[in-house]
Amino acid sequence: MRDGTSIAVVIPALDEQEAIGKVVSAIPDWIDDIVVVDNGSSDGTAEVAAAEGARVIREPRRGYGSACLAGIAALNDPDVVVFMDGDLSDYPEEVGELVAPILSGEADMVVGSRVLGRREPGALTFQARFGNLLACILLRLLWKVRYTDLGPFRAISRDALTLLEMKDPDFGWTVEMQAKAARQGLRTREVPVSYRKRTGKSKISGTLKGSTAAGAKILFTILTLALGQGKSQMVQGRLLENLIVFTRYPEAGKTKTRLVPALGAEGAAALQRRMTERLVMEAREFARNKSIGVEVWFEGGGESLMRRWLGGGLRYIPQRGGDLGDRMGLALTRSFRAGARRAVIVGTDCPGVTAGLMRSAFEALRDRDVVLGPAADGGYYLVGVRGSAVSRAVPAIFENVPWGACTVLDRTLNIAEDAGLSSELLETLDDVDRPEDLSVWQSVLESHSAATRPERVSVIIPALDEAANVAASLDSAMRGDNVEVIVVCGDAKDDTSDIARSWEAKVVSSSPGRGRQMNAGASRAAGEILLFLHADTVLPEGFDDHIRRVLRKRGVSGGAFSLRLDGPALGLRLTERLATLRSRLFQMPYGDQAIFVKTEIFRRVGGFPEIPIMEDIELVRRLRRLGRIVISGIPVVTSARRWFRLGTYRATIINHIAIIAHCIGVPVARIARWYYSVG
pLDDT tens for each residue of 123-154: 887 878 888 888 899 888 888 888 999 999 99
Q: From the CB of residue 122, how many other CB atoms can be counted at a distance below 10 Å?
A: 9
Residue 657 has pLDDT above 90, yes or no: no
Q: Is the pLDDT of residue 212 over 70?
A: no
Q: How far apart are the first and last CA of the chain?
A: 64
Compute the average pLDDT of residues 427-452: 80
Would you say 540 and 611 are in contact if contact means Cβ atoms under 8 Å apart? no
Residue 341 to residues 140, 334, 366, 398, 424, Cα–Cα distance (Å): 30, 12, 9, 20, 17
Per-residue CA distances from 563 to 308, 430, 472, 638 (Å) = 15, 42, 17, 7
CA 324 to chain centre: 25
Give the model's confidence band at 200: pLDDT under 50 very low, under 70 low, under 90 confident, else very high: low
Question: What are the pLDDT digits (tens) for 100-112?
Answer: 999 887 888 999 9
For 545-557, write each residue's pLDDT tens digit.
889 988 988 789 9
Q: How far is residue 10's CA from residue 394's CA, in Å, rounded to a whole number?
A: 29
| 609 beta partners | none
pLDDT digits (tens, 9 = 90+) for 319-329: 877 889 989 98
DSSP state of 397: G
Instruction: Between 649 and 424, name the one with better pLDDT.
Output: 424
Q: Say what the pLDDT of residue 411 is.
A: 92
pTM recorded for the entire structure: 0.43
Number of Cβ atoms within 10 Å of the Cβ of 105: 10
Which of the four CATH numbers 3.30.70.380, 3.90.550.10, 3.40.50.620, 3.40.50.1820 does domain 7-228 have?
3.90.550.10
> pLDDT band at residue 453, thresholds of 50, 70 and 90?
low
pLDDT at 235: 37
Give 321-370 pLDDT, tens digit per residue: 788 998 998 888 888 877 788 899 999 999 999 988 999 999 899 888 99
* Beta partners for residue 83, in sequence order: 10, 154
Mind listing the pLDDT tens digit for each residue in 73-97? 888 878 899 999 999 999 999 999 9
What residues contact 157, with CB distance under 8 A and at least 6 apart?
A: 79, 80, 81, 102, 108, 109, 337
441-to-131, 296, 387, 431 alpha-carbon distances in Å: 58, 22, 34, 8
Say how far apart CA 393 and CA 396 lie, in whole Å.
5
Tell me the mean pLDDT in the region 15-43: 94
Tell which residue, 419, 624, 605, has the closest CA to residue 530.
Answer: 605
pLDDT at residue 232 in the model: 40
Question: How confident is residue 487, by pLDDT bands cut at 50, 70 and 90?
Answer: very high
Give the residue among 594, 613, 659, 607 at the shortest CA–CA distance from 512.
613
**Is the per-residue pLDDT at 470 higher than 80?**
yes
DSSP state of 398: G
Question: Binning pLDDT at 50, 70 and 90, where does residue 675 land?
Answer: confident
Q: For domain 457-643, give the CATH superfamily.
A: Spore Coat Polysaccharide Biosynthesis Protein SpsA; Chain A (3.90.550.10)
Cα angle 538, 543, 546; round to 5? 150
pLDDT digits (tens, 9 = 90+) for 241-298: 899 999 999 999 988 999 999 999 999 999 999 999 999 989 988 886 566 788 999 9
pLDDT over threshold 70, residue 447? no
Q: State the average pLDDT for the chain.
A: 86
pLDDT at 230: 40
Strands (E), 523-624: 529-532, 537-538, 556-565, 595-598
Task: Decide: 562 and 589 in contact? Cβ < 8 Å.
Answer: no
Q: Is 5 helix (H, G, I), strand (E, B) or coil?
A: strand
Least confident residue range of 311-315, 419-423, 669-673: 311-315
Q: Which CATH class is domain 241-447?
A: alpha beta
pLDDT number for residue 392? 55
Residue 452: the pLDDT is: 54
Mean pLDDT within 213-240: 59
Name all contacts of 73-77 with Cβ < 8 Å and 24+ positions apart: 74/35, 74/37, 75/8, 75/10, 75/33, 75/35, 75/158, 76/8, 76/33, 77/6, 77/158, 77/320, 77/321
Reduced 3-state DSSP string for 222-239 = HHHHHHHCCCCCCECCEC
Measured CA to CA, the distance from residue 517 to residue 460 in angstroms comes to 9
Instruction: Give percent above pLDDT 90 in the chain.
Output: 46
322 phi-psi bin (left φ>0, alpha ψ -120 to 50, beta other): left
CA atoms within 13 A on the CB side of 466: 24
Question: Going by C-beta distance under 8 Å and a sequence separation of 6 or more, which residues neighbour residue 216?
Answer: none
Q: Give me the pLDDT at residue 237, please.
A: 39
Query: Mean per-residue pLDDT for 224-229?
Result: 62
How far is the C-alpha of 175 from the C-alpha of 552, rounded, in Å? 35
> What whole-number percentage of the chain has pLDDT above 70?
92
In three-state secondary structure terms, 221 is helix
What's the rounded Cα separation, in Å, for the pair 200 and 113? Answer: 22
Closest CA to 26 of 72, 82, 66: 82
Q: What's the half-sphere exposure (Cβ side, CA atoms, 13 Å) at 86?
A: 30
Rounded CA gap, 569 and 675, in Å? 24
377: number of CA atoms within 13 Å, CB side? 15
Taking 70 as the threshold, does the pLDDT of residue 668 lie above it?
A: yes
| In the chain, ranges of CATH 3.90.550.10 domains | 7-228, 241-447, 457-643
Phi, psi values for residue 89, rounded to 5°: -75, -30
Cβ neighbour number for residue 50 with a 10 Å cutoff: 17
Beta strands of 496-627 (E only): which ranges?
506-510, 529-532, 537-538, 556-565, 595-598
C-alpha span between 222 and 178 (Å, rounded)? 10
Closest CA to 425 of 415, 410, 435: 410
DSSP per residue, 651-667: HHHHHHHHHHHHHTT--
Please give the Cα distance from 92 to 82 (Å, whole number).
Answer: 10
Alpha-carbon distance of 370 to 389, in angstroms, equals 8
Decide: 84 and 13 in contact? Cβ < 8 Å. Answer: no
